[in-house]
Structure 1
């Protein structure tokens, strides 16, 4: 049996908690509280983390950690990234500058989880179809220092979330193969 620790990073409102709930089938430990951040209209926000422990059909375990997105909680990101086998970074396509929003999360991964497989999910793409995914991909690669898969996603769709997780697990398996042959 293998354990896969996956950390979900991204801005407040990008869909991290929704993604964790979709993967876990709704069974999640969360730390949501009333939102007091005036920059967002969300009613509740995560202040420590969301956590789900999922038994996979092949006997493996998936441990999901959804981080709080606000910069004031960035001290927890390196702690949660320790020992991660994979990272999902969610960006809100409807934000004014989706690439700028991604930068702090990409830099945190580059500093604290170098070489860990990462997938970037762009949520709320239906609300901002004008977002140029190709230029976004180039900026993500520039900031990350390596190419990363970029996937448009609706975090409310279990099917879309599972596709994103399949892409991540493919990256995890590819990294393991490379490590085995190094």
Structure 2
């Protein structure tokens, strides 16, 4: 049995909690509280983490950690990234500058999990289908220092979330194959 620790980073409202709930089938430990951040209209927000433990059909175990997105909680990102086998960075397509929004999370990836397989999910793509995905890819390469797969998706769709997770697990498996042959 292999345990896959996956950390989800991204801005408040990008869909981290929704993604964790979708993968876990709704069974999640969360730390949502009433949102007092006036920069967002969200009613509640995560202040520590969302957590789900999922048994996979092949006997492996998936442990998902959704981080709080606000900068004031950034101290927890390196702690959660320790021992991660995969990272999902979520960006909100409806953000005024979606590519720039990813920067702080990409920096955390580069600093604390530089070799960990990662994928970028662009959420709310259904609301802004003409978002500049090329700018997001370039921002990721520049900031993370490596190319990362980018997947536009709807965090409310279980199928779309599973497709994003399949891309991440493909990256995890490819990294393991390379590591086995080095």
Same fold (TM over 0.5): yes
Q: Distance in 2 between matches of 1:136 and 1:113?
A: 20
Superposed CA RMSD in Å reads 0.6
Q: Which residue of 2 aligns with 1:135?
A: 135
Where does structure 2 lack aligned partners over 5 or more consecutive residues? none
Corresponding position: 1:67 with 2:67: yes
Count of equivalent residues: 182
Q: CA offsets, 1:69-102, max 9 Å, x none?
A: 0000000000000000000000001001111110
Q: Which residue of 1 aligns with 2:175?
A: 175
Corresponding position: 1:104 with 2:114: no
Q: Distance in 2 between matches of 1:161 and 1:129?
A: 17
Q: Distance in 1 between matches of 2:69 and 2:139?
A: 20
Q: Which residue of 2 aligns with 1:32?
A: 32
Corresponding position: 1:156 with 2:123: no
Specify the SS of the correspondent of 2:62: strand
Structure 1 stretches of 4+ moved >2 Å: none
Q: Compute the TM-score of the two structures, normalised by the length of structure 2.
A: 0.99
Where does structure 1 lack aligned partners over 5 or more consecutive residues? none
Q: CA offsets, 1:105-133, max 9 Å, x none?
A: 00001000011000000001121122111
1:139 CA displacement: 1.8
Structure 1 window deviating more from structure 2 (4-13 vs 129-138): it is 129-138
The answer as to whether partners of 2:99 and 2:135 remain within 8 angstroms in 1 is: no
Q: Compute the TM-score of the two structures, normalised by the length of structure 1.
A: 0.99
The answer as to whether partners of 2:125 and 2:153 remain within 8 angstroms in 1 is: yes
